[in-house]
Amino acid sequence: MNFSENLRELRKAKDIKQEVLAENLNVSRQTVSKWENGTAMPDLKKLTALAEYFGVTMDELLGLTSPGSEGENISDYAKEYINELISLENEASTRKINELNTKWKISVIILAVVLAIAFFNIGNLTTRLTAAENNMQNIANNTYHNDDSDDDLDSTSYKILNYVDYKVLNIDKSKPWLATISITYSPEKYSKNLKVTFNAPQEDGTIKEVELENNNGDFTVQTTVDTTYDKYIIQTNDGETIEKADLSINFIDDYFNSDSISIPANYSDGYITAELDDYINFRIVSKAKVKKGYVKAYFDDEKPYFTKEFIVYNDKLYVSSVKIKTSFDKFYKHNTFNLEYVAVDENGIEYSTIQKLTFSINGNKIDLDNCDETSKKITFPNGKTITSPTDE
């Protein structure tokens, strides 16, 4: 598992909510949510705090070894090395800090050295380095993913996100795709000429630019946004440099927070069978009652060709086994199959948690390679949707 998956599993094993973890680490719940869905990565100080909080090694936290394997909690050598890196962030030499932030390959080397020292396992250094490079490559891709789709976003402007926090204050009851949010930008260095603006997507498809008010060096604003849009751009302008970044707001958890699912499934004799013998609690934030629940099945992005209704009781979806007939030829055209579990509330809002099944073909045999929840989705009565990032 990678870092985001490990963090999610560690939190659930400890039976705590994102809010509790956020409070212990002095960050926002949205920050924890970003860590868990893979759209952001903690700094070294927070990584250290996370490892100590959960009682695991840095190696295990980053997904380089499995929990319970050899090695103790973060060694004094690793702590000392990490503390040196943290001290760099507190020095006045911002040029060095920026180099460390932008040249992620340096971080790969640092992590590899830290892990090698921490676990005194030089023989496995090559394996660990490869895993660290892959992990950090994923981190780099997630960090810069917005730059590929918007030429106006500076590839170094992601550092703005280190100083931005946001909170959902209210969901509109009559138009639940609209939310009032607060945004706070606390710059690393204050400039009297600094101007901060936020592009707030509106229901009619327009973008409303709002300026954040300067409150003793913290820039704040409250505004209404359409939660179904993909981009939420914040811009800073100090008179000399203009920087932009996408907040990558994921509103899913502000609507519902269902349990992660991993339901056994297999393919045999022309049927995909999923063994569903439990319930799914969608935990709808608005407290709206669940009126209907069902599962639908489809290959890749094709239209669903199988649906089955489930029993709903006390706002829980009681699932049962499903047996879905499909042709062998389908697997030659597609290598993924989706099971989407849907709860519909009294207002007609659909809440979905999607399980992605990955198969491989070996001669005349089809093997199941992966069977994990990959994303969540909300569909409003007007057809607007919110989709969480894919956990891959």
Q: Is residue 7 domain-resident?
A: yes
Q: How many CB atoms lie within 10 A of CB 11?
A: 20
CATH of residue 224's domain is: 2.60.40.10
Determine, yes or no, domain membership for 150.
no
**What pLDDT does residue 28 have?**
76
Q: Is residue 136 part of a domain?
A: yes
CATH code for the domain in which residue 262 is found: 2.60.40
Residues 190 and 264 in one domain: no
Looking at the fold, whether 26 and 119 belong to one and the same domain comes out as: yes
Claim to verify: residue 57 and residue 190 sit in the same structural domain: no
Lookup: tokens for 311: 């029993």
CATH number at residue 54: 1.10.260.40
Is residue 370 pLDDT above 60, yes or no?
Answer: yes
Whether residues 210 and 271 fall in one domain: no
Place of tokens 């000399």: 240
Amino acid of residue 312? V
Mean pLDDT, residues 41-56 taken together: 88
Q: Give the least confident one: 189-193, 199-203, 358-362.
A: 358-362
Question: Taking residues 28-43, what's their average pLDDT?
Answer: 78
| pLDDT at 231 > cutoff 80 | yes
Contact 183, 164 (CB under 8 A): yes
Q: How far apart are the first and last CA of the chain?
A: 10
pLDDT band at residue 82, thresholds of 50, 70 and 90?
A: low
> Is residue 149 assigned to a domain?
no
300 and 193 in a common domain: no
Output the pLDDT for position 92: 39
| Same-domain check for residues 14 and 101 | yes
Residues 357, 371: contact at Cβ < 8 Å?
yes
Q: Is the pLDDT of residue 158 over 80?
A: no
Residues 161 and 32 in one domain: no
Residue 64's pLDDT band (boundaries 50, 70, 90)?
A: low
* Distance of alpha carbon 219 from alpha carbon 126, whole angstroms: 46
d(CA 36, CA 61) in angstroms, rounded, equals 12
- How many distinct structural domains can be found in the chain? 3
Q: How large a percentage of the chain has pLDDT more than 70?
A: 72
Q: Is residue 392 part of a domain?
A: no
Q: What mean pLDDT is reported for the chain? A: 77
pLDDT at 332 over 60: yes
| Same structural domain, 186 and 214 | yes
* Domain edge (last residue) among 217, 252, 287: 252
Asked if residue 97 belongs to a domain, the reply is yes
Choose one of 123, 144, 165: the last residue of a domain. 144
Q: What is the pLDDT, as a whole number, of residue 4?
A: 81
Q: What pLDDT is recorded for position 134?
A: 52
Q: Are residues 242 and 320 part of one domain?
A: no
Among 91-105, 168-182, 192-206, which is the least confidently predicted range?
A: 91-105
Residues 6+ apart with CB under 8 A from 312: 290, 291, 292, 293, 318, 343
Segment of 162-166, 197-201, 229-233, 311-315 carrying the highest mean pLDDT: 197-201
Residues 6+ apart with CB under 8 A from 292: 309, 312, 343, 344
Helix or strand (DSSP H, E) at 344 = strand 336-345
Contact at 8 Å (CB) between 227 and 247? no
Q: Are residues 318 and 237 in the same domain?
A: no
Domain boundary, last residue among 144, 168, 197: 144
pLDDT at 139 over 50: no
Q: From edge to edge, which strands make up the β-sheet containing 350-362?
A: 279-281, 316-318, 306-313, 290-299, 336-345, 350-362, 365-379, 385-387
Reported pTM: 0.61
Please check whether residue 174 lies inside any domain of the structure.
Answer: yes
Instruction: Indicate whether 15 and 140 sit together in one domain.
Output: yes
Domain that holds residue 270: 255-387
Residue 105: its pLDDT value, please? Answer: 46
Q: Does residue 331 sit in the same domain as residue 263?
A: yes
Would you state the pLDDT for residue 372? 66
